[in-house]
Chain A
Amino acid sequence: MSGEVKAGADTSRAPSSQKIQQVHVGGDVMQLIGGQITVTIDGTDVKVPMGTTVLDAARRVGVRIPTLCHHPDLCVAGVCRVCVVEVEGQRALQAACAFPITSSLKVKTHTRKVRQARRHILDLLLSTHYGECYSCKRNNNCELQALAKEYGVDFYRFGHVTESQVPKDESSYSVVRDMDKCILCRRCVRTCIDIQEVGVLEAVGRSNKTRISTFLDKPLGDVVCINCGQCINRCPTGALHAADTSDEVWRAIDDPTKHVVIQTAPSPRAGIGECFGCEPGTPMTYQMNTALKLAGFDKVFDTNFSADLTIIEEGTELLGRLHKALVKGEPVAFPQFTSCSPGWVKYLEHFYPEYIPNLSSAKSPQQMFGAVIKTYYAKANNIDPKDIVTVALMPCSAKKFECNRPEMADSGFKDVDYGLTTREMAQMIKEAGIHLPDMPKGDFDDPFGTATGSGVIFGATGGVMEAALRTVIEFVCGVKVEKLFDHANIVPVRGFEGVKYVELPIANVSPEVPAIIRHLIPSFDFLKGATLKVAVAHGTANARRVMEDIKAGGKFSECHFIEFMGCPGGCIGGGGQPIPTSPEIRAARARAIYEEDAECAVRKSHENPSSTASSSPTAPAAT
């Protein structure tokens, strides 16, 4: 059932110095691997599996060791050196994050040498760090700032730069690079090359001239960056942040001639609470509806509504493609790829352009919604579309790029004017004096407030596939999904495995074809006895695994439909979500999303009463 391909250090293009290195030892020691070993940390004994790092062992006994270049999603770098500790018998201090335990060690974490080294490292980092915390996106959420406080930095021992050394790179619609604040931890480099396998960022130059650069130092907007923002989420400082358009949104709100409509995607509501001190996975859907109204938005709609439209689109497109291929014998691109993740779409355009015909022609929910607002909604409410400002609250930095793509103007206007990230929205809500968790619950506005559980689960990896399957299965088989899958939970496509592969045999087909696709397909008989093969991949490193397999004619080339999400975990791990991120945090957000789905009265896109009303607006290719 599960995917056999997985992202891993073995296939990564990252230099070995930036990857977890395995210890290969022979003989007796071999038998100890997998065994337990006792280490003493500041006098406390703890038993850990062989190969555990000193950092992880210390965490087990509640000893805090500061880190900067370490990140739970990334391979070890060992470059900032702020985590150094004294290991008995070693002359030099050792980086706790990079030191695997293979014998019983005695470790001390706050001796004079250690404290001096940590303080000096912070002093050195600050000596070249140009930035003022109060005008920084990461104020109060910055690992450098936090450590400076923790270690009582009260003066600049080795001086401090007083003017900007590097101009900001604001060329990208999505990501701003402010290298004055970069501390060269290389988390962004490892993210881009290891998690995403895009490889836009690299350290260049040596010694104190080392800096993070793009290919030939080109502006980020001109290189193959897919705008996923994963590097932002893992940057410890304000050196990387999303291109913020909240000022423009405030201006629209303040302008009485503008009708400002916001659509909110499923993932921000599962994450935004974190910006207000809530535990990850605390849903804020209905509190946010109230807050957005209070903040001044005229209408608050649910992107899940257009997610339902997307599903109907993609589902019928899939059936159409199958019909074309199997019945009419026409050449059709298979597998069909989802098109809702703009990071993934750009990745495909750069790295596998020959597969663009495989992308579903359905617009992403964000863009579909924008188009509906400026056409159907404008007409229905008698508002001139030029007076409508559509804002999209997204977990994503790539959505900012997507809404600026020149082809995204089907309404004759820019379909979506501004994409805001979860972080930016939290900021706006705070600016409006609102403490989100205290808000009374409010509903979405009609007519697009009604969404199904299928729209909600778009936020997690496998969600689009599950939603599509709920619809496709019912269409084709003519039986309720619940009959086939308990509570309509198509569990095999859920979960965080890098790549998932599922086969669904179609035993019986419905004698009736639903009205909505009857013009395309007169009968489902051609699918009787067929096996639907689908796959799900998240994070572009995993996408790459699948694409390479397809190119090589492997099992994924026989799939009919593949869901690709640009970000690890899907949109809940998007580049616009609250910082920090970790596997645990993303799992908590995903839980919140599946709970919301379970609570929905209607859980299948094609049963959404509003979507049938507005008649699905078919759009040209999303690319």
Chain B
Amino acid sequence: MQPTSSKKTPLTFDTIAPGQGLAAALKKSRADIIGEVSASNLRGRGGAGFPTGTKWNLAAAAQGQDGGAKYVVCNADEGEPGTFKDRVLLLEYTDLVFEGMTIAARAIGATKGILYLRGEYVYMRPHLDGVLAARRTAGQLGANILGTTGFTFDIDIRMGAGAYVCGEETALIESLEGHRGEPRNRPPFPVNTGFLGQPTVVNNVETLASVSAILAKGAAWFRAIGTEKSAGFKLFSVSGDCGAPGVYEFPLGITVAALLEKVGGTGAKAVQIGGASGVCVPASEFGRRIAFEDLATGGSIIVFGQGRDMLHVAKNFMEFFVEESCGQCTPCRAGNAKLLEGIEMLERGACSSAYLRELLNLCETMQLASKCGLGQSSPNAFVSIVTHFQDEILGRTAAAH
């Protein structure tokens, strides 16, 4: 059973015919493919925003152990609360995603691709398997792809088991290898030592679909959209207190206010940009831009209306992290629990402002000393809500006294 599409705007991807990007790529040398992607200024759509061309260059230069294989992994774990845009791509633009993987494989010299699919998306399996089969029949996967001698590549689908941290690329790789989903030490990075110790590129679903579009229409076309530092268009998963939640496409650089207008969210009290690990922006800052140079996001936008209790919002996020931390490193394992405890103290009016200051310092430690992005970003919501809505939160403390 497929849910009805949650698309609220037409997508640029509608204008890209499947096959176009791959055909264009196969006419280029491997270095030129990477050159095109680099020239487009495409940055990873999974949240961290790492330049895709740079990542591919590193993987292309890396040497596998004993001449072993290289891998392309599509990160379809989409676990960030409030994110559901990859779902649309996987269901409705499937070919563009697989094509992006194939282009990546060509560029870095990989022979094997893996789609790491969020456990809850298991219902997509028949569809995805069908598309893969069709691509094999069409010679777009397998040996000597589209007549390109020596270019052999195929894609496997592997299911995640529901842990948010497994969206972190090194935890994802651990999980693929059959271990507990726990992030690795970095460096070394997956581009050098990834799946089974081999050079591996991990890219988000949307990044890969964008690659197909870029190869089809050219780097210059892509770069013309968005801002100087944040090229291109981006999908947004919009939810919360707004008239029309759903999946939208906007050019990067759009202001929060403009976005709210399009989604029927004007008059909001605050907007959480980037999901649970993102930051909470108060109305006074709605003029800020959604772009890597200001408010970076993997695409999750959660709108909070005037009636929302911001401490409750913060609590929700902290509960999520206390549930989802892998428990490996001290700051995140114990820190998130302390922050949640602090919120509960605030609720009861039992948190002194001195202790609140200690907790904000602890947030800094977590952001700096945690092993992976989860612990490094989990305090973001707490910090931004406590700073921007101090009066509301502390007023409550006073009221409780």
B residues less than 8 Å from A84 (CB atoms)? 368-369
Residues of B within 8 A of A128 (CB): 334
**Which of B116-124, B179-187, B247-255 lies on the face that meets chain A?**
B179-187
Task: Compute how far the CA of A128 lies from the CA of B337 in the bound complex, rounded to whole angstroms.
Answer: 11
CA distance A209 to B333 in the complex (A): 9
Question: B24-82: which have CB < 8 Å to A?
Answer: 61-65
Q: Mark B327-338, 1 if CB is under 8 A from A, else 0.
A: 111110111111
Candidate in B324, B331, B367 with the most chain A CB atoms within 10 angstroms: B331
Flag if B187 contacts A99 (CB, 8 Å): yes
Within the assembled complex, what's the spacing in Å between the Cα atoms of A349 and B335? Answer: 44
Shortest CB distance A430–B (Å): 34
In the complex, chain A residues whose CB is within 8 Å of the CB of B370: 81, 92
Q: Which of A1-60 contact B (CB under 8 A)?
A: 15-17, 21-27, 30
Q: Are B331 and A117 in contact (CB under 8 A)?
A: yes
User: Given the interface contacts A102-B187, A120-B361, does A23 sit within 8 Å of B193 by beta carbon?
Assistant: yes
State the CA gap A601–B113 with chains docked (Å): 69
Question: Majority SS of interface residues in chain A?
Answer: loop
Residues of B within 8 A of A157 (CB): 358
Complex alpha-carbon distance, A127 and B174, angstroms: 30
Contact B180 A116 (CB under 8 A): no
Q: How far is the CB of B289 from the nearest CB of chain A, in Å?
A: 21
**B residues 174-211 touching A (CB-CB < 8 Å):** 174, 177, 179-180, 182-185, 187-188, 192-193, 197, 199
A99 to B188, CA, bound (A): 9
Contact B188 A21 (CB under 8 A): yes
> Which of B184, B336, B361 interacts with A21 by CB under 8 Å?
B184
Q: B369 touching A117 by the CB < 8 A rule?
A: yes
Q: Are B330 and A210 in contact (CB under 8 A)?
A: no
- Chain A, residue nearest B331 (CB): A81
A78 within 8 A of B: yes
B197 touches A25 (CB 8 A): no
Number of A-B residue pairs with CB-CB distance less than 8 Å in the complex they form: 155
Assess the B334–A127 pair: CB atoms within 8 A: yes
Q: How far is the CB of B326 from chain A (nearest CB, A)?
A: 6
Given contacts A80-B329, A98-B185, A207-B336, contact A116 B193 (CB under 8 A): no
Measured in the bound complex, the distance between the Cα atoms of B367 and A116 in whole Å is 12
A252 to chain B: which residues have CB within 8 Å? Answer: none
Residue of A nearest to B178 (CB): A15
Which residues of chain B are within 8 angstroms of A30 by Cβ–Cβ distance? 63
A17 touches B337 (CB 8 A): no
Bound-state Cα–Cα, A143 to B190, Å: 33
Q: How far is the CA of A21 from the CA of B184 in the complex (A)?
A: 9
CA distance A80 to B328 in the complex (A): 8
- Measured in the bound complex, the distance between the Cα atoms of B186 and A100 in whole Å is 9
Contact A208–B64 (Cβ < 8 Å) = no
* Interface check B325, CB cutoff 8 A: yes
- How far is B162's CA from A523's CA once the two chains are assembled, in angstroms? 71
Cα distance, A91 to B364, chains bound together (Å): 12
Asked if A207 and B331 sit within 8 Å, CB to CB, the answer is no
A452 to B371, CA, bound (A): 54
Interchain CB contact under 8 A, B179 and A24: no
B63 touches A16 (CB 8 A): no
Whether A15 lies near B334 (C-beta < 8 A) is no
Q: Mark A93-115, 1 if CB is under 8 A from B, else 0.
A: 10100111010000000000100
Chain B 310-345 per-residue mask, 1 if CB under 8 angstroms from chain A, else 0 = 000000000001111111111101111110000000
| Contact indicator B170/A206 (Cβ below 8 Å) | no
Is the CB–CB distance between B324 and A207 below 8 Å?
A: yes
6 pairs of A and B residues whose beta carbons are closest in the complex? A210-B327, A15-B179, A124-B334, A207-B325, A98-B185, A117-B369
Which B residues are within 8 Å of any A CB, using their own CB?
Answer: 61-65, 163, 170, 173-174, 177, 179-180, 182-185, 187-188, 192-193, 197, 199, 321-331, 333-338, 358, 361-362, 364-365, 367-371, 376
Assuming A16-B179, A27-B61, A92-B370, what are 11 further A-B pairs, CB within 8 angstroms?
A15-B179, A23-B187, A25-B63, A78-B329, A84-B369, A91-B368, A116-B361, A120-B331, A124-B331, A158-B362, A208-B322
**A-B contacts, 17 listed (Cβ < 8 Å):** A17-B184, A24-B197, A26-B63, A27-B61, A82-B330, A92-B369, A93-B369, A116-B365, A117-B365, A157-B358, A158-B334, A183-B330, A207-B336, A207-B337, A208-B322, A208-B325, A210-B326
